[in-house]
Each structure stands twice: as C-alpha cells, then as structure tokens.
Amino acid sequence: MRIVMTGATAGIGLEAAKRLRGEADGTLVVGARTPAKLPAALASAVDARLLDLASLTSVRAFASGVLREAPLDALVLNAGLQCSSPRHSQDGFELTFAVNHLAHYLLARMLAAHIKLGGRIVLTASGVHDPALASGVPPPHHANAKALAFPELDQDLDKSAMTAGMRAYATSKLCNVMTARELARCLASDRPDLAVMAFDPGLTPGTRLARHHFEPIGAIFKHVLPLVMRKGPGVSTPENSGRLLADLVLSPDYGAARGDYFAVRGEALERRDPSVLARDDAACAKLWDDSAELVGLPAD
C-alpha cells in the first residue's frame, strides 16, 4: 500500500502511523514541517516530506511531488491545531481554518484523482462540531468560509480571543465533516469506487492539540486532563483512537463509506449522524465552492 498522511508526528496520528507503517505493505508518506525531526518510532521507517499546512504554496508543492509518483491507496488528512489568540496563515487566512480545513481541502482536491481503484480518503473531524453534544467547546455559528477565513468580516465573532479560538476549532471540524460529505457527492459519478469518511476520535486528552495555547491552559490540556478524564463513552486515548483511525484505512468494514461520519465510542467505531448543519446539502455545497475560491481552484 501507498498512503499519504498529515498529522502523523504526534498524538492520535502518531499511533495510527505506527500501525499503518507496520501493517501496510508499502510506503507511508508523511507530511511534516520538520521532516528531519520525526519521532523515533517513525524515523527511517516512513517517507517524510516537507509540508507546512499554513502555506498553500507548501501544500501545492507537497501534492505536486506526490502526483509525480505512483498512485495512492489512501489519503489520511489528520493534522489539526487549536489557537488561543488570533493568528494568521502565510496566505492571510485565520490560522485554524487555514490549517484544519483549507489545506486539507486543497490536498483532497489535488490528490483524489491520484488514488487507486477502491482507495480511501479519511478526514479527522471532532464531536465538538455538533452543538447537540454539549461538549463544552463553543459550537459553530455557521460554515461561511469567507467569514471564517477573515474573522474581521464575521458579525458573530466572539469578543474573547480564547472563546473565538475554540469556536474556530469547532467550526474547522464542522468543515471537515461537510467536506467529506461533499467530496463523496462530487466523486459519486466519476469515482464511485472511492471510500470517503470523517473521523471523530473522541475526547482524547494527552495529545499536542493544545500546544498553541497560552500557559497554564496548554499544561492543563497536556498533563491534567489525562488524569481526570479517563472514562466516558466519548473519552479515548491516543493509542485507542489511533488504532481506530488506522482501521478506517485498512479494514474492509469501511470500504463502502461515502461521506459517512464515524465516532470513537469505547474501543469501537460507530457510524453516527453528524450535526444538523453538517447534513445540510446546500451548506456543504456552498462551503465547497467558497473554499475552492479561497484556494484558487474551480468549484468543480
């Protein structure tokens, strides 16, 4: 197998990458900001390449390199971040939206046609995208791509930087779910063989997701939450969620997924309905078209 993956150097992604590297008979291509500084578990075991998801130029260069080589069996779009203060990508977009959504949208658009018959595309989302779950994270107000890319245009922008940052994260995860659904619809005529799915890893304390938060918030996410939040139907560990992410790539059980949303519940995956907004076909199509404009691609 030949698999391309983002977000493979820490947390859930690292655990998934270790399994994919060990069980996939082939090559695991890992996009990373510092390819020379991979974790020991991946060093010399994967094909690490420069990829800065905060730069669309870097995303295009990475994808172009992949396109020059053998086709893929799977594309795993797992990287993500949270920010506690306003930050921008190299292209001038709000950073969380740029990294978590736009970069992965562009990779999916560029690489989908390069995936082999019966291949798979997995986008890592989160249950925080759904207001009905009352996760404690400020839920999305909307999925207006231009307002998310340029928050100064957003009439619903929170006054608190921390609240705005957490809501931006939840909204980017909503965009991942909506992208999976719309991507599956767009592929239905020309590539009905491709499996496309969104993945909710559950609440997984102990990852590096909150590395951009100010202290002591970052320390609480990294050291305290893993000790106090160990049980519950939606609580998981990096090892467990990483194993289940790898299952979405490798197991024949998920080969028929066409925009489906799978959530970690205990030691298994459940197919679940995403949020009401994520199931709005018109909103998904609008997000797709506006995202295409932002990254400089045609809508179709």
- The whole-model pTM stands at 0.92
Chain mean position to CA 72: 18
Q: Is 224 a domain residue?
A: no
Q: Which residues of 197-216 are buried (b: 16+ CB within 10 A; e: fewer)?
A: bbbbbbbbbbbbbbebbeee
Q: What is the pLDDT along the chain (300 residues), one digit of tens a residue?
A: 999 999 999 999 999 999 999 877 789 999 999 999 999 999 989 999 999 999 999 999 999 999 999 999 999 999 999 998 889 999 999 999 999 999 999 999 999 999 999 999 999 999 999 999 988 999 999 999 999 999 999 998 999 999 999 999 999 999 999 999 999 999 999 999 999 999 999 998 865 565 444 455 554 444 444 443 455 667 899 999 999 999 999 999 999 999 999 999 999 999 999 999 999 999 999 999 999 999 999 988
* Residue 214 covered by a domain: no
Domain that holds residue 291: 2-80+90-204+230-295
The domain tally of the chain equals: 1
Instruction: Residue 65: give its domain's CATH number.
Output: 3.40.50.720
Q: Is residue 237 part of a domain?
A: yes
What string of DSSP letters covers 77-129? E-----BSS--B-TTSSBHHHIIIIIHHHHHHHHHGGGEEEEEEEEEE--GGG
Q: Judge whether 209 lies within some domain.
A: no
With a CB cutoff of 8 Å and minimum separation 6, the contacts of 292 are: 109, 298, 299
Q: Answer yes or no: is 156 within a domain.
A: yes
Crossing angle for the helix pair 103-111 and 281-295, to the nearest 10 degrees? 90
Q: Is 219 inside a domain boundary?
A: no
What confidence score (pLDDT) does residue 228 get? 39
Instruction: With CA atoms as reference, report the closest residue to 5 among 255, 246, 271.
Output: 246
Q: Is residue 169 included in any domain, yes or no?
A: yes
Whether residue 223 is contained in a domain is answered as: no
